[in-house]
Structure 1
Amino acid sequence: MISDPNGDLPEPRRKTISSPYIHRLQRRHFLLFDVLPILGTVGAFAFLAVHPFGITEFVLLFSMWLVTGLGVTVGYHRLFTHRTFKAVPWVAGLLAILGSMAGQGGVVSWVALHRRHHEYSDREGDPHSPNLAGGGFLGAVRGLAHSHFLWMRRHEYPNVVHYAPDLIKDRDLVRIARLYYYWVALGLLIPTVIGGLVSLSWTGAVSGLLWGGLVRIFVLEHIVWAINSFLHMFGTRPYESRENSHNGGIFALATLGESWHNNHHAFPESPSFGLNWYRLDPGFWLIELLAVCGLARDLKVPSADRIAAKRISAHTDQASHAA
């Protein structure tokens, strides 16, 4: 609560902040980390005339995508946003750094945005819902464009004091968040140096930067954005949830388990998005490995009874019996 200057009733804390300065920062981030990777991907294909795509480029693209993607899904999303498990400090710090290298925003801001998304999912106030742009085909297209990409140009910034008070009390995490641009730069520098050392040429360094850096950011971003956009309009809905989330199981490996999106919205406290062993969820596999090694604990997997109770078919059966 914020004290009223006249000494009357306190004002409620603002949930969002909007100012020209914040919007300038958003536009800068949009150009650097959303638009530039598109240009970098075009440049990578053009650069094939100078330096062919080989095993080094493939390894850099895949490995950097994997570690930064796990940093986002395991660190940013499952650990810091939803607190689905606890990790030892150095593991938590490493996950925050790897997530930062993805170029999707500092950890505190990312968490605040995602917590607001869950609070207002597919309602007014959701920063990236595809379902608020009107009906019909044109409304769907406008909604998908907004939720997949355009919303990041300018939006109300969630107040981190309101949405992430637990994170701003963590000095180590705040220190990592303040160095966000340096972590992104490190994520670009690593493949550049490796590419140059392996090929012993400047063309190898540039190729490493393009494929392990900019193309990797482009690929991971669009995978994450597709969950925000397409999986709030299309897919399967096995569980009751108040918003329009869907599963896209065919994309489970490519999204590191994030495409079990309806499962996640139905059980946001669960570190397992697949919920069952046969649903592929690489993010949860890493958490389980950390737990086996004593580096993670308190995994809040929902019980089989609770999962069954939320199944839409179960509610349908109950309704038919009541009738």
Structure 2
Amino acid sequence: MKLVDTERVKAGPGCDATTGRVVFEPAKALWWGGHGLGGLAALALFPSWGGLAAFLALTALTICAGHSVGMHRLLIHRSFTTPRWLERLLVWLGTLVGMAGPLGMIRAHDMRDWHQRQALCPPHPSHGAGFFKDGYWQLMCRYQLERPPRLEIEPQVAHDPFHRLVERSWMAQQLPLALALWLLGGWGWVLWGICLRVWVSLTLHWMVGHFCHRSGQQGWHIAGLPVQGYNLPGWSLVTFGENWHGNHHAFPHSARLGVEKGQLDPGFWFIRILETLGLASEVKLPASQAPREGLMRRAAAE
């Protein structure tokens, strides 16, 4: 079976996209579970409006400006450009979501994308398992191929000293924020603003990925691929536009994910604000790129 290369992932001789296994990762499981326990402690032992406000504000900031805009649309897809200092700030905010460092995020995203572009895709990268099994796989395990492809991250990212530093210490990046929260509101704010926030962010990210690859509303279809992207109408303000995953499969390098009329996309609003301030340029839209091979129009999204 001929394998398809992507911009960063290259299938060398002997590469196999389907022969692999799901491997339990104790550190990953402890990271997710430990933050979950801390989140329960926040709710049970330190209920407060201040803690709730810290949780909501930091969750919105790190997911919107950090994960959706900084990590996903900027670092991974290069759908717009910013000054280097701002890129680093946005990527750092994305690291605070608690998934991985910048290079780890590229690796996880691009390997999953590479798998989903093949004629056959295993159930782990396709989110093909049932709800609870997929949750266990994604939140506590990794998929290990016997003969994996090469991941070639561009030198300006792979060799960036800031990205390399954050990559080596991505878990510890929570500590400066935890100290600030402790000074402002004690241990209760730490549990609300770190533990509960990280657990909710990780769990929500998995759930969006799970449902957006299963079924749902679809404005476009990619012919010949077993894994499709679907939209989740009604989840725009919670996911900051990442719910329009069917659109993203159709136009992966577009900075705008909510491309249909009425599709709210707070992440794109933030990019437009940066552009107005002169801090973002070369903003890509669906019309900025050639149509993806096999792209077929379906009914317009509601």
The TM-score normalised by the length of structure 2 is 0.80
Match status 1:68 vs 2:62: yes
Segment drifting more, 99-108 vs 270-279: 270-279
Match status 1:180 vs 2:208: no
Give, as a single letter, the amino acid of the residue that structure 2 aligns with 1:164. Answer: I
Segment drifting more, 79-88 vs 298-307: 298-307
Structure number with greater CO (CA < 8 Å, separation at least 6) is 2
Is the partner of 1:253 in helix, strand or coil?
helix
User: What is the aligned partner in structure 2 of residue 255 from structure 1?
Assistant: 239
Cα distance in 1 for partners of 2:142, 2:242 equals: 24
Match status 1:81 vs 2:65: no
**In proportion to residue count, which structure has more strand?**
2
Contact 1:15–1:163, Cα closer than 8 Å, also in 2: no
2:52 to 53, 58, 62: 58
Cα distance in 2 for partners of 1:119, 1:36 equals: 31
Give the drift of 1:305: 11
Match status 1:234 vs 2:215: yes
Is the partner of 1:86 in helix, strand or coil?
coil
Cα distance in 2 for partners of 1:170, 1:129 equals: 31
Is the partner of 1:155 in helix, strand or coil?
strand
The TM-score normalised by the length of structure 1 is 0.75
Cα distance in 1 for partners of 2:250, 2:58 equals: 30
Cα distance in 2 for partners of 1:176, 1:38 equals: 23
Is the partner of 1:218 in helix, strand or coil?
helix
Give the drift of 1:251: 0.6
1:257-297: CA deviations, max 9, x gaps? 10001001111010111014631111111111111111111
**In proportion to residue count, which structure has more helix?**
1
User: What is the aligned partner in structure 2 of residue 266 from structure 1?
Assistant: 250
Give, as a single letter, the amino acid of the residue that structure 1 aligns with 2:72. Answer: H
1:312 to 293, 298, 301: 298
Is the partner of 1:254 in helix, strand or coil?
helix
Give the drift of 1:99: 0.9
Cα distance in 2 for partners of 1:93, 1:53 equals: 33
Contact 2:115–2:121, Cα closer than 8 Å, also in 1: yes
In terms of Rg, which structure is larger?
1
1:114-172: CA deviations, max 9, x gaps? 011111128435753222x4xxxxxxx3xx22433423433246989614234213333
CA RMSD for the aligned pairs? 2.8
User: What is the aligned partner in structure 1 of residue 140 from structure 2?
Assistant: 153
Cα distance in 1 for partners of 2:58, 2:141 equals: 28
- Alpha-carbon spacing, 1:103–1:13, altered in 2? closer, same or farther (3 Å): farther
Contact 1:232–1:246, Cα closer than 8 Å, also in 2: yes
Segment drifting more, 74-83 vs 164-173: 164-173
Contact 1:238–1:262, Cα closer than 8 Å, also in 2: yes
Match status 1:170 vs 2:167: no
- Alpha-carbon spacing, 1:279–1:28, altered in 2? closer, same or farther (3 Å): same
Give, as a single letter, the amino acid of the residue that structure 2 aligns with 1:43. Answer: A
Give the drift of 1:108: 0.4
1:211 to 192, 195, 220: 192
User: What is the aligned partner in structure 2 of residue 130 from structure 1?
Assistant: 127
Cα distance in 2 for partners of 1:110, 1:273 equals: 19
User: What is the aligned partner in structure 2 of residue 39 from structure 1?
Assistant: 37
2:108 to 109, 113, 123: 113
Give the drift of 1:68: 1.1
2:277 to 281, 290, 293: 293
Cα distance in 2 for partners of 1:106, 1:126 equals: 25
- Alpha-carbon spacing, 1:289–1:127, altered in 2? closer, same or farther (3 Å): farther
Cα distance in 1 for partners of 2:16, 2:78 equals: 21
Cα distance in 1 for partners of 2:115, 2:71 equals: 19
2:180 to 181, 184, 190: 190
Segment drifting more, 120-129 vs 38-47: 120-129
Segment drifting more, 248-257 vs 150-159: 150-159
Cα distance in 2 for partners of 1:172, 1:91 equals: 12
1:49-101: CA deviations, max 9, x gaps? xx4422x1122011110111120111111111111111111111001111111
Is the partner of 2:216 in helix, strand or coil?
coil
Contact 1:96–1:107, Cα closer than 8 Å, also in 2: yes
Unaligned runs of 5+ in 2: 1-11, 18-22
Contact 2:63–2:97, Cα closer than 8 Å, also in 1: yes
User: What is the aligned partner in structure 1 of residue 287 from structure 2?
Assistant: 303
